[in-house]
């Protein structure tokens, strides 16, 4: 009975358009390295970076992907 009391239902408000959910992702790496060794090939790649920053904005109602 307690869970029924706490169950919330959304009721629409006339004339109100809710904002689009927005997610921002920020990734900052300092003194990092990426080591790639594909199993079937005798190949090895090592990429090093002093600083690396990645920023991405994700919107739910769009089909555009922007990565900086």
pLDDT digit string, tens, across residues 13-63: 888 887 777 788 899 999 999 999 988 889 999 999 999 898 887 777 677
Residue 58: predicted pLDDT: 75
Give domain status of residue 11, yes or no.
no
Q: 29 and 49 in contact (C-beta within 8 Å)?
A: yes
- Model confidence, pTM: 0.47
Query: For residue 6, what pLDDT band results from cuts at 50, 70 and 90?
Result: confident
Residue 21 exposure: Cα atoms within 13 Å on the Cβ side: 3
Domain ranges, residue 41 = 20-67
Report how many domains make up the chain.
1
Tell whether 6 is covered by a domain: no
pLDDT at 1: 63
Asked whether residue 39 is domain-assigned, the answer is yes
């Amino acid at each position: 009975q307690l869970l029924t009391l706490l169950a919330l239902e959304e009721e629409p408000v006339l004339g109100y358009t809710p904002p689009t959910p927005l997610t921002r992702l920020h990734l900052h790496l300092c003194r990092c390295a990426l080591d790639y060794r594909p199993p079937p090939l005798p190949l090895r790649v090592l990429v090093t970076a002093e600083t690396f920053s990645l920023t991405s904005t994700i919107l739910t109602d769009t089909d555009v992907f922007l990565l900086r």
